[in-house]
Amino acid sequence: MRERTYTYLGIAVVLITVAWGIFQWFEREGLVLHAEELSQQTLNLSGISDRLTGNYQDLKAASAKIRESSAQEIALVFPTKEDLTNLTRLFDDFSTKNNFESNPFFISNLTYQTPLSSDEGAYRYVPVVLTVETSRKNLSKFLEFVEQSGSLEGEARLMSVEDISIKYPSEFGGEYEARITLDAFFSQEL
Amino acid sequence: MADIVNPAPGSEKLPETSNVFTELFGNDSAVKNKGMMAPPAPGISGRSVNSGPIGSLKPSVAEHPGRSFFQLSLLVFVITVGVFLTQNSSWFSVIGVNPALKVEQAEAYVDQLNADTRVQKHLAATLLLEQYSGIADEYLYDKAQSISAYNSDNKKKAYKELANGLLPGLTENLGQVIEYLSEEIPNEEVAAVKDSMDELITNLKTKEGQVDAQTLLQDIRDLETAKTLLQSQSFKDELKALDLTALKDAQIESVLNQFGGINSSVTAVISKIKAKRVKWSGYWSELEALTKSVDPLFNTEFSGSVHVSDMKFSTTGTASVSGETSTDDKKNFTLVSNLIDTYESSKWFRNAADRSYVKNDNSEKVTGNFKIIMDIELNP
């Protein structure tokens, strides 16, 4: 009786061994195939990586050239220091080019305040207060000039108007008086 | 001589027993006397080997075939498990690299290569977007100049041609960016790309002093921007949704501003400042146009009902209009209320109010001062 039990157990173990062996064999075959697929994938990705590296090097060289050529223009619109003398020349130049008897733009007062840093420290700015006597057309033109400043193409110092108070003339066609507070920007401390 | 058959005289007769030796050699009393032919003592089993003829030594396998078969099958099972463990388990690689370990190593290498190629794509897209920023900035400036009321027609035409000349380059640049960023990276694989970028940044920082400082700083900035770009899914989605055959100025500006928001270069800082600027000329024109809609004679050579003395605008988000009303029908307060309602109806202003009303009855007209304060909608 015991012998028969052992025999049956032995047969069961043999069957389990065979089944498990077959399963593991297929598992192994699957792993071998998967390894071959991964090997092919590796080859493909390596080729893509090499191509991308080449593209990146080309782009980097092109970017370096552009950065070098625009460095001078950036220095004009976003200098590394306050550069108040060039800023004063800029305002005076605008005034001179646009001040006519019938169409005036006259800066009667120009005051620079203490420079400040932005909250995140990415840049600095100097508040400027201008008092101008101007025609409506020239006041509008000056506002547009400031609103478009900072473009590398235009080469005008980057500015933005913060406050503007416009006093209307008592008669139509008369002079407007405007008090303009604007910020002139420059870069963070290096 | 005594022989085997005839025992030597005088020898004592031993009890008759038989064993292997006696079977083979007969009853040699000399040998027997020495005890060599004496039968051995009974074994441990208590059974004598003299229990039968020569075929009587029975092996246990024959006695217990079932148990032996079971034992053998167990052995085969253990050997089979062992063999396949060495093949299918990566931690049991005994002789060289087994298939499981090969797969594990290959998968890790493929993951690394995938992360590296994604880093390279985002770096390339970053540099292309930086180039795009320069072209877009120039394009938008030229476009603005081409519609400015303060330029002559010839100048406007020249600026327009310049702007149109830049458009194909812009489109091509954006097309390349979109191609590099077209892959949808699964969320669980983004971390691997970020780690790869962090590793590169750390490696670059160790090179301080060995290479040009500006170049090193720029490379680090590029990687940091690429890392931010990697995580800016909404920006990438906006890029992919662009119709490059019909690109609008607003879209060009939007891409420029959004990239400015994630880039850490100087041109990006400039873009960020520009994006926050308020175009006060627009608000001024709008306020004047609204006032004129209430009093058509406002700001003309003719005397109207509304005389504005000043207008103020501030980035604190407020605007005010002060002045004097002059009416024949004494409805000065109504006129001010009309102004308030008109300003309120515009998308540029809200919460317009005048909390104090004054009227003077003069001989010819009734006049009254007003000061209307309102909030500005900074992004109408």
Question: Given the structure tokens 């039990």, which residue do they identify?
Answer: A5
Report chain B's mean pLDDT, rounded to a whole number: 84
Q: What is the mean pLDDT of residues B126-130?
A: 94
A162·B315 Cβ contact <8 A: yes
Q: What's the pLDDT score for residue B60? A: 65
Is the pLDDT higher at A135 or at B18?
A135
Q: What is the mean pLDDT of residues B8-17?
A: 44
Q: What's the pLDDT score for residue B229? A: 94
B124·A41 Cβ contact <8 A: no
Q: Which residues contact B45 (CB under 8 A, 6 or more apart)?
A: none
Question: Are B260 and B271 a contacting pair, CB within 8 Å?
Answer: yes
Chain B 313-372, residues with CB within 8 Å of chain A CB atoms: 313-315, 323
Chain A 142-181, residues with CB within 8 Å of chain B CB atoms: 143-144, 147-148, 150-154, 158, 160-168, 172-173
Sign of torsion over alpha carbons B335, B337, B338, B342:
positive
Q: Which of B88, B100, B86 is nearest to A25 (CA)?
A: B88
> Got the DSSP string for B257-316?
HHHHHH--SHHHHHHHHHHH---HHHHHHHHHHHHHHH-TTTTSSS--SEEEEEEEEETT
Q: What's the pLDDT score for residue B8? A: 44
Closest by Cβ to B312, choosing from A77, A165, A187? A165
Q: Is the pLDDT of residue A92 over 60?
A: yes
A31·B107 Cβ contact <8 A: no
Helix or strand run (H / E) with residue B373 = strand B366-376
- pLDDT bin (cut points 50, 70, 90) of residue B11 is very low
Q: What is the mean pLDDT of residues B347-367?
A: 89
Tokens read off for B76: 């085969």
Best of A1, A2, A5, A7 to mutate (most B CBs within 10 Å, chain B) = A7
Q: What's the pLDDT score for residue B128? A: 95
Q: What's the pLDDT score for residue B96? A: 75
Best of B179, B256, B277 to mutate (most A CBs within 10 Å, chain A) = B277
What are B65-89's pLDDT values in tens digits?
888 999 999 999 999 999 998 889 8
Q: Is the pLDDT of residue B14 over 50?
A: no
Tell me how far CA of residue B234 lies from CA of B148, B186, B270, in angstroms: 33, 15, 22
What's the angle, vertex CA B221, arms to CA B215 and CA B222, rounded to 5?
Answer: 90
Query: Residues of A with CB below 8 A from B103's CB?
Result: 31, 34-35, 38
Residues in chain B: 380
Question: CA-CA distance, B32 to B22, in Å (whole number)?
Answer: 9
Question: Are B33 and B53 a contacting pair, CB within 8 Å?
Answer: no
Interface check A32 vs B, CB under 8 A:
yes
Q: Is the pLDDT of residue B45 over 50?
A: no
Which chain A residue has its CA at the smallest distance from B109's CA?
A42
Helices of type H across chain A: 2-77, 84-98, 136-147
A52·B120 Cβ contact <8 A: yes
What are B137-154's pLDDT values in tens digits?
999 999 999 999 889 999
Tell me how far CA of residue A165 lies from CA of A168, A185, B70, in angstroms: 10, 21, 104
Chain Cα centroid distance, residue B318: 41
Q: What's the pLDDT score for residue B7? A: 41
Q: HSE-up of A9 (CA within 13 Å, CB side)?
A: 15
Q: What's the pLDDT score for residue B261? A: 85
Question: CA-CA distance, A60 to A63, in Å (whole number)?
Answer: 5
- pLDDT bin (cut points 50, 70, 90) of residue A190 is low
- pLDDT bin (cut points 50, 70, 90) of residue A189 is low
Task: Give Dmax (Cα) for chain A.
Answer: 129
Q: How far is B36 from chain A (nearest CA, A)?
A: 41
What are B241-290's pLDDT values in tens digits?
999 999 999 999 999 999 988 887 788 888 889 988 999 999 999 999 99
Closest by Cβ to B113, choosing from A45, A148, A167? A45
**What share of chain B in percent tops pLDDT 70?**
83
What are B189-203's pLDDT values in tens digits?
999 999 999 999 999
Tokens read off for B358: 């004054």
Chain A 107-146, residues with CB within 8 Å of chain B CB atoms: 122-123, 140-141, 143-144
